[in-house]
Amino acid sequence: MAPALCWLRRNLRLDDNAPLAAAVRDAGAVIPVFVLDDHYLDHDFSPPRLRFLADSLRELADALGRRGSRLVVRAGPAGEALAALAAETGADRVYAHQDHEPHARALHARAAEVLERRGARLVLVPDLLLVDPATLTAASGRPFAVYTPFARRWREADKPGPLPEPVALDTPPAVLASSFPSVPLGRPRGLRERGAPENPPGGSLEARRLWDLFRAGPLQGYARRRDLPGEAGTSRLSPHLRFGTIGVRRLLHEAREAWRAADAAGRASIDAFVGELAWREFYAALLGREPRLAAEPFRREFEAFPWVGGEEGERRLAAWREGRTGYPVVDAGMRQLAREGWMHNRVRMVTASFLAKHLRVDWRRGEALFRARLADGDLASNTGGWQWAAGCGTDAQPFFRIFNPVLQGERFDPDGAYVRRYVPELARWRGAGRDLHAPWRSLSPPADYPAPIVDHAAARREALEAFDRLRGGRAGAR
Ligand SMILES: Cc1cc2nc3c(=O)[nH]c(=O)nc-3n(C[C@H](O)[C@H](O)[C@H](O)COP(=O)(O)OP(=O)(O)OC[C@H]3O[C@@H](n4cnc5c(N)ncnc54)[C@H](O)[C@@H]3O)c2cc1C
């Protein structure tokens, strides 16, 4: 029987890996391959993600080596690289995961075409999501455009259990020979020396460590603590779900086990956590169905929104990007992002809303910056989250509901632990007290921290006026 290639992309693990399990089941001999596409180094360039990817590939290569197999690494374009590898090894099938991202679909279409010309076949297997979005439709037969009914159907849908790691991996001896061509992991352009020390480390061992830590405590209190950025109340698994260093079927299975053993409060928390996995699938389904949402607002009228551009727009964007807006929770969030390549969800909502509504800078500028800086940067969740925050998405936070960054800070970071951790000017401010989230109100504000870039009340009014004009005066009536 001819061997099969297993093309690993966003499933960098051995456990609960559907394409790998299918290849082992159908072909016997399997050649795991990763193709480093220029896409990662150009269009989708992100130092924290490259670091995460490098860590994960190194660990995966070691794990495969320990099982008598090998991770073959080739340079893209993927279709040509896979076809060449298939020709070298006599493989007649390439197993990979289905993907909703526009770039991945184009990659798959191209790979299928090149492979077919060489007599091989691309076999796509569901793996990234728990429920195939095509099976989730409203009573009308149309796909859902709103989260709540989507999530109701998603929760009811059958979901597959996790797949065990293959007991043995049979890889052709010729591929194991050191002379068989594979790009050394230290060498691919861009994979070396990327990222910063505080970026999330990659790999399945790290994913398992984080998940065990989270399950042992924070999961039970998730409903209460998930909104508090100063606490370790969330799983931090997002980059691992982005790169598939842990399987989402495995997570759900173990979350359900924890649910069975939990009390009522614990169960509510676990339900809330599973609801977040549903958000991830909602945005994936949405982008899969409407690829235009990667760059266009769901609510088309927002194409005409009067964003602040030119020099003033750039000035505002720079202050936001560098965490110098004078609003502590916004600045702490942007500095956390720059330092760690990750930001707490509550603060993502506040910082994104602040850029789009207070500063009226086009949400796409912020989306691009987030995606470049986030280790979990994911086109579907990021454009979905940004459109939600900017008020132009499907399930949007209505535009006229504008987060007050001071009240958000006081409510979700009441002791200021979060802003102090990321804004040293505020950590060393002696006069800090009740005004920590609004330092300009203090009689002795910190000398080295900026004054607010805009006045909240004035910015809110201007944003509502702009929105009003967009809606032909209707917004004010709501
Ligand atoms: C403006 C904005 C941009 C965002 N960009 C991204 C992004 O690029 N990549 C990304 O993975 N998430 C994004 N999110 C969603 C969310 O902020 C992160 O998934 C979450 O903060 C990750 O932390 P965690 O793993 O500790 O999450 P947990 O609270 O532990 O949640 C578990 C998992 O559920 C998923 N999840 C949680 N919340 C959401 C959500 N609102 N939307 C979609 N999935 C969710 C994530 O995969 C997460 O790892 C964005 C949210 C906003 C408001």
Domain identity same for 467 and 323: yes
Domain identity same for 320 and 466: yes
Q: For residues 3 and 90, is the Cβ–Cβ distance under 8 A?
A: yes
Ligand 1 within 6 A of CB of 376: yes
Domain identity same for 361 and 472: yes
Q: Considering the entire predicted model, what is its pTM?
A: 0.96
Residue 387 CA to residue 366 CA, distance in Å, equals 11
Number of structural domains (the chain) is 3
Specify which residues 143 forms β-bridges with: 137
Q: Is residue 313 part of a domain?
A: yes
Q: Is residue 149 part of a domain?
A: yes
Domain identity same for 147 and 283: yes
Return the number of other C-beta atoms located less than 10 Å from residue 319's C-beta: 19
CATH of the domain at 33: 3.40.50.620
Residue 132: partners with Cβ closer than 8 Å, 6 or more residues away: 126
Domain identity same for 104 and 133: no
pLDDT at 439: 97
Q: Give the residue, by CA position, lying nearest to ligand 1 atom 19.
A: 238
CATH of the domain at 437: 1.10.579.10
350-367 in b/e burial notation, b at 16+ Cβ within 10 A? Answer: bbbbbbbbbbbbbbbbbb
pLDDT mean values, one per 10 residues, the chain (478 residues): 96 98 94 89 85 94 96 95 97 97 94 96 98 89 88 96 93 97 79 78 97 97 97 98 98 98 97 98 95 94 94 98 98 98 98 98 98 96 96 81 96 97 95 89 94 97 92 51
Q: Give the residue, by CA position, lying nearest to ligand 1 atom 39.
A: 276
10 Å CB burial of residue 170 (0-12, 13-18, 19+) is middle
345 is catalytic: yes
Domain identity same for 137 and 285: yes
What is the 277 CA–ligand 1 centroid distance (Å)? 9
What is the 87 CA–ligand 1 centroid distance (Å)? 40
Q: Which of 129, 150, 280 to mutate to test the pocket of ligand 1 (most atoms within 8 A of CB)?
A: 280
What is the 414 CA–ligand 1 centroid distance (Å)? 23
Of 80, 104, 127, which residue is a domain's last?
A: 127
Of 127, 146, 173, which residue is a domain's last?
A: 127
What is the 238 CA–ligand 1 centroid distance (Å)? 6
Domain identity same for 123 and 139: no
Residue 413: domain span: 300-477
pLDDT at 180: 97
